[in-house]
């Protein structure tokens, strides 16, 4: 096995032994990590409560969920969480919104090379994928009658390609070696859209929003979408119709992305959860670009820094006309 | 397009210039313009503005109080951040920028409201009906007439 493949299994081992130590010593009640999924190229969130089950924990290029999404649900307990760069940023954002208690969360930080987009892989191979693993810088994908080697950098999620914080920004223990950042301009894609004429932007937004089936998988996957009652479920006032009509679809996409303004860490969990493959990264990327350019704010980096729409600078804020 | 008349909704802070609000209450606002007083420009939910467009407005004018003169001390500062980001976001998804306009009025701006409304009407007339965002069934025009 080459170095990267063995680094992966070393990381899996490190996560398991850390989980075992934490559970056996009673330091935490539950360890939140990843298990092998039921189909190739999938990993599933796993809640380990008993040290005898730590062998189910894994680390591979398909551990794509943002596990910070479950922290609010476990608020009564002491939790250890396996966290990539983006997961830790979500933890910081949740801390800044007083949603979780730092004392009750033990962060097992894991540097991340960007998760692999199984949809991209499936489009690049001739048949059904039966096995996939990392070897060196490549993902080896095998099926009946084929074996392909794809460079990991080519099959990353788009959100991962635009990632500037692959290493955990906050942690109690760091497993594995820090990785180098590969992205030089995280807003390149947003800029590309911004350059298009207004009519083209409207047409693109419409074509994306129109595919929405209002399943709200994007909302459920998001660590920051925790409102007890979402605006789309309000009836008084009814902000938006609940059917999958063009107006309702657009209102949902705008409302969702705007509500995450200055709170979204661009982990891409929403887009990965979307069964219609709607371009959600382009919407959330815009809100992140704006708060960065207007207020110099980047979500989930600094603890105790309030979200940008909760504060203001009387003299220095940009004017609006 | 013939016979089309722009529909503009003005959200006006209830604490802004009394003289201008009185002018508006004397029903001198142009046809197609609807004035809605709100407690504070900072109180405006971005969703309300989005709904206004989706329910048939061709343009929106938000009028708040100039920096330093908010009745609630900081409402307009928070509103300014919200409006700046919302405007940019709606522009990004294709809404013509001039359809959402914001103005901050101070004591020296007495009598400016009618000019601001005329400006928005002119801009919106040039742009034509709002078609960039999908709309719900529009309100009957009798409701929108001033």
Average pLDDT over residues B5-20: 89
Residue B20 — very low, low, confident or very high, per pLDDT cuts 50/70/90? confident
Alpha helix (H) ranges present in chain A? 3-24, 85-96, 118-124, 158-161, 188-194, 198-209, 217-221, 246-259, 269-273, 281-295
Residue B10 Cα, gap to closest chain A Cα (Å)? 14
Chain B positions in Cβ-Cβ contact with residue A201 (cut-off 8 Å): 92-94
Kindly list the distances between the CA atom of residue A79 and the CA atoms of A32, A98, A102, in Å, as whole numbers in the listed order.
7, 16, 10
- How far out from the chain centre does Cα A130 lie? 25
**Which pLDDT value is given to residue A1?**
42
In a domain, A183, yes or no: no
Number of domain units in chain A = 2
Find the chain A residues whose C-beta atoms sit closer than 8 A to any C-beta of B.
193-194, 198-206, 209, 231, 239-241, 245-247, 249-251, 254-255, 257-258, 261-262, 283, 286-287, 290-291, 294-295, 308-310, 312, 314, 317-321
The structural domain count of chain B equals: 1
| Nearest chain A residue (CA) to B85 | A290
Q: Is residue B54 part of a domain?
A: yes
**pLDDT < 70 stretches in chain A:** 1-5
Contact A252, A163 (CB under 8 A): no
User: Considering the domain boundaries, does residue B124 fall inside one?
Assistant: yes
What are the φ and ψ backbone dihedral angles of A231, each rounded to 5 degrees? -60, -25
A61 domain residue, yes or no = yes
Name the minimum distance, in Å, from the CA of A280 to any CA of chain B.
12
Same domain? For A202 and A86 the reply is no
- Unique residue bearing structure tokens 């709170």: A263
- The pLDDT tens digits for B75-90 are 999 999 999 999 999 9
Chain B positions with Cβ closer than 8 Å to A: 45-48, 50-51, 54, 67-68, 74, 77-78, 80-97, 101-103, 132-136
What's the pTM? 0.93
On whether both A228 and A251 belong to a single domain, the answer is: yes
Are residue A157 and residue A224 in the same domain, yes or no? Answer: no
- Give the domain range for residue B21: 17-128
Higher per-residue confidence, B32 vs A237: B32
Nearest by CB: A250 against B80, B84, B133: B133
Q: Residue A133 falls within a domain, yes or no?
A: no
Q: Which helix (H) or strand (E) holds B23?
A: helix B18-25
Contacts of A250 (CB under 8 A, 6+ apart): A205, A206, A209, B54, B93, B133, B134
pLDDT > 60? residue B144: no
d(C-alpha A209, C-alpha A15), whole Å:
39
Within-domain flag for A130: no
Q: Is residue B96 part of a domain?
A: yes
Q: Do B67 and A283 touch (CB under 8 A)?
A: no
CB contact under 8 A, A320 and B94: no
The predicted pLDDT at position B146 comes to 46
Structural domain containing residue A241: 188-310
In contact, B85 and B125? CB cutoff 8 Å: no
Chain B residue with the nearest C-alpha to that of A242 = B136
CA distance linking residue A275 with residue A280, whole number of Å: 12
ipTM greater than 0.90, yes or no?
Answer: yes
Residue B27 has pLDDT above 80, yes or no: no
Write the CA distances from A38 to A87, A182, B61, B68, integer angstroms.
23, 31, 54, 59
**pLDDT score of A51:** 97
Mean pLDDT check: name the lowest of A215-224, A233-242, B110-119, B132-141: B132-141
- Asked whether the predicted pLDDT for residue B1 surpasses 90, the reply is no
Closest CA to A92 of A34, A168, A153: A168
- Asked if residue A238 and residue A269 are part of one domain, the reply reads yes
Q: Check whether residue A29 and residue A97 sit in a common domain.
A: yes
The shares of helix, strand and coil residues in chain A, as percent rounded to the nearest 5, are: 40, 15, 45
For residues A29 and A151, membership in a common domain is answered with yes
In a domain, B28, yes or no: yes
Cβ-Cβ contacts under 8 Å for A25 (sequence gap 6 or more): none
Burial B39-68 (b: 16+ CB within 10 A, else e): ebbbbbebbbbbbbbbbbbbbbbbbbbebe
Which of A227, A247, A320 to probe by mutation at the B interface, max B CB count within 10 Å?
A: A320
B139 pLDDT more than 60:
no
Residues A237 and A273 in one domain: yes
- Phi, psi dihedrals of residue A220, rounded to the nearest 5°: -70, -30
Burial of A226 (0-12, 13-18, 19+ CB in 10 A): middle
Residues of B within 8 A of A320 (CB-CB) are 80, 83-84, 87, 102
Give the mean model confidence (pLDDT) for residues B61-71.
93
- Closest by CA position to A225, among listed A186, A190, A255: A255
């Amino acid at each position: 096995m080459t170095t990267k493949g063995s680094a992966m299994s070393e990381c899996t081992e490190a996560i398991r032994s850390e989980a075992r130590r934490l559970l056996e010593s009673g330091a935490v009640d539950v360890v939140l990590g990843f298990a092998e999924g039921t189909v190739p190229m999938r990993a599933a969130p796993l809640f380990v409560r008993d040290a005898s089950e730590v062998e189910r924990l894994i680390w591979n290029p398909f551990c794509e969920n943002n596990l910070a999404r479950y922290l609010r649900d476990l608020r009564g307990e002491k939790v250890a969480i396996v966290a990539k760069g983006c997961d830790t940023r979500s933890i910081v954002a949740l801390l800044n919104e007083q949603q979780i208690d730092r004392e009750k969360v033990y962060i097992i930080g894991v540097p991340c090379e960007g998760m692999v987009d199984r949809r991209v892989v499936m489009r690049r191979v001739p048949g059904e994928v039966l096995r996939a693993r990392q070897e060196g810088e490549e993902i080896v994908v095998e099926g009946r009658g084929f074996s392909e080697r794809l460079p990991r950098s080519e099959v990353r999620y788009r959100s991962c390609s635009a990632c500037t914080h692959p290493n955990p920004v906050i942690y109690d223990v760091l497993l594995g070696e820090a990785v180098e950042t590969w992205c030089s301009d995280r807003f390149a894609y947003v800029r590309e859209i911004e350059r298009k004429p207004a009519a083209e932007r409207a047409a693109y937004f419409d074509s994306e929003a129109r595919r929405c089936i209002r399943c709200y998988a994007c909302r459920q996957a998001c660590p920051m979408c925790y409102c007890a009652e979402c605006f789309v479920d309000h009836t008084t006032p009814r902000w938006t119709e609940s059917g999958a009509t063009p107006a309702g679809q657009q209102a949902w996409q705008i409302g969702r992305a705007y509500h995450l303004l200055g709170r979204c860490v661009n982990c891409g969990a929403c887009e990965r959860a979307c069964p219609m493959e709607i371009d959600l990264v382009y919407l959330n990327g815009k809100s992140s670009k704006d708060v960065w350019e207007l207020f110099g704010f980047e979500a989930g980096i600094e603890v105790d820094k309030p979200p940008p729409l909760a504060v203001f600078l009387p003299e220095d804020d940009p004017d609006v006309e | 397009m013939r016979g089309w008349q722009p529909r503009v909704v003005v959200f006006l802070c209830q604490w802004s210039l009394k003289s201008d609000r009185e002018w508006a209450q004397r029903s001198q606002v142009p046809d197609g313009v609807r004035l809605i007083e709100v407690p504070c420009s900072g109180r405006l939910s971005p969703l309300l503005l989005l709904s206004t467009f989706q329910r048939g407005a061709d343009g929106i004018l938000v009028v708040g109080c100039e920096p330093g003169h908010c009745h609630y001390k900081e409402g307009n500062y928070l509103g300014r951040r919200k409006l700046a980001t919302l405007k940019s976001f709606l522009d990004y998804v294709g809404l013509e920028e001039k359809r959402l306009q914001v103005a901050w009025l101070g004591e020296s701006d007495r009598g400016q409201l009618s000019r601001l409304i005329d400006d928005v009407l002119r801009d919106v007339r040039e742009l034509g009906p709002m078609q960039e965002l999908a709309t719900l069934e529009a309100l009957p025009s009798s409701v929108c007439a001033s």
